[in-house]
A and B are shown apart, each in its own frame.
Chain A
Amino acid sequence: DGGITQSPKYLFRKEGQNVTLSCEQNLNHDAMYWYRQDPGQGLRLIYYSQIVNDFQKGDIAEGYSVSREKKESFPLTVTSAQKNPTAFYLCASSRISNQPQHFGDGTRLSIL
C-alpha cells in the first residue's frame, strides 16, 4: 500500500535542542516537500527537493535543515535557531514538480 509515513506523530522539544522529523515515501515520487501549518492558518513551504541530493529553501527555511540522500526519505531537522517551532509539520511528495501532492499524516511539535 503506497503512501507517505511521517514519524513521530507527536514530538516535544526542549530549549536548545535539535529534533529531526522523519518522512518516508514509497510512491517512487521524485519531488518532496516540507510545510509548516500554524493553528487556523494555511501551509507555508519550508524546504523542497526536486531530486535526490538537491533541495531548495522555501518561504520560511530559517532555523530548519533537510537532507535528501535517498529518493524515499526527506528528513527535516528543527534546530535550536528556530525560536518558535510549535506547529503542525506536513511532509508531501509528488511524482514530479508541479503535480498534485500527497501528504503524510503530519507531526505535531511542541516546546517543553
Chain B
Amino acid sequence: GQQVMQIPQYQHVQEGEDFTTYCNSSTTLSNIQWYKQRPGGHPVFLIQLVKSGEVKKQKRLTFQFGEAKKNSSLHITATQTTDVGTYFCAGPKENAGNMLTFGGGTRLMVKP
C-alpha cells in the first residue's frame, strides 16, 4: 500500500542553524500539504504544493515539490525557538483521493 515517509524522525539544532525535513511517497501525489504541530497543540496548515518542481517560500521556510511529484522538502533557514514542533507532510490517499495520508512527522528541537 501507499507509504508516506519522513526523515529524520527527530532533529536537534542550535538556534541559528538551518534545518531540513524530507518527505517521500511510494506513489505519485497530485499535491502535497505541510502542517506544523507545536508541543501539546494541534496541526496547523502551512502550505500546499501542486505543480511538479514547485518551490514556495514563507519567510524563513522554503518548500519544494519534486519533479516526479513523489517527494518534498521543507527547509528552515536560521532556526528560532519559535520553530520548535513537529512538521508533517500529507498527500492524497492512493485510490481514495478525498482522504489524506500523513507522514510520521519530523520533530524539531531548537537549543537557544
Check if A90 sits within 8 Å of B42, measured CB to CB: yes
B98 near A106: Cβ-Cβ < 8 Å = no
Residue pair B43, A58 in contact (C-beta under 8 Å):
no
List residues of B (89-107) whose CB comes within 8 Å of A's CBs.
90, 92-93, 96-105, 107
Interface residue? B48 (CB, 8 A): yes
Whether B88 is near chain A, meaning CB under 8 Å from some CB there, is yes
Partner of A90, one of B43, B45, B101: B43
Main DSSP-derived SS at the A contact region: strand
Cross-chain contact of A100 among B33, B103, B105 (Cβ < 8 A) = B33
Please choose the segment from A12-20, A43-51, A66-74 that sits at the chain B interface, where 4 or more of its residues have CB less than 8 A away. A43-51
Report the tally of A-B residue pairs with Cβ distances under 8 A.
Answer: 55
Instruction: Evaluate contact between A98 and B98: CB separation under 8 angstroms.
Output: yes
The answer to whether A104 has its CB under 8 Å from any CB of chain B is: yes
Is A97 among interface residues, defined by CB-CB distance under 8 A?
yes
Q: Are A101 and B100 in contact (CB under 8 A)?
A: yes
Size range of the interface on A?
20 to 34
Query: Which of B33, B96, B98 sits near A31, CB closer than 8 Å?
Result: B98
Q: Are B42 and A100 in contact (CB under 8 A)?
A: no
Q: Which residue of B lies closest to A48 (CB)?
A: B99
Question: With a CB–CB cut-off of 8 A, which chain B residues contact A97?
Answer: 97-99
Closest chain B residue, CB of each to CB of A102:
B45
Docked CA distance A48–B97 (Å):
12
Q: Are B98 and A42 in contact (CB under 8 A)?
A: no
Docked pose: A100 CA to B49 CA in angstroms: 11
**Closest Cβ neighbor of A4 among chain B residues:** B42
* Residues of B69-102 contacting chain A, CB below 8 A: 88, 90, 92-93, 96-102
Q: Residues on A close to B: CB < 8 A?
A: 31, 33, 35, 40-45, 48, 50, 56, 58, 90, 92, 97-98, 100-106
Interface residues of B (CB under 8 A from A): 30-31, 33, 35, 41-45, 48, 88, 90, 92-93, 96-105, 107
6 contacting pairs across A/B (C-beta < 8 A): A41-B105, A42-B102, A56-B96, A98-B97, A100-B48, A101-B45
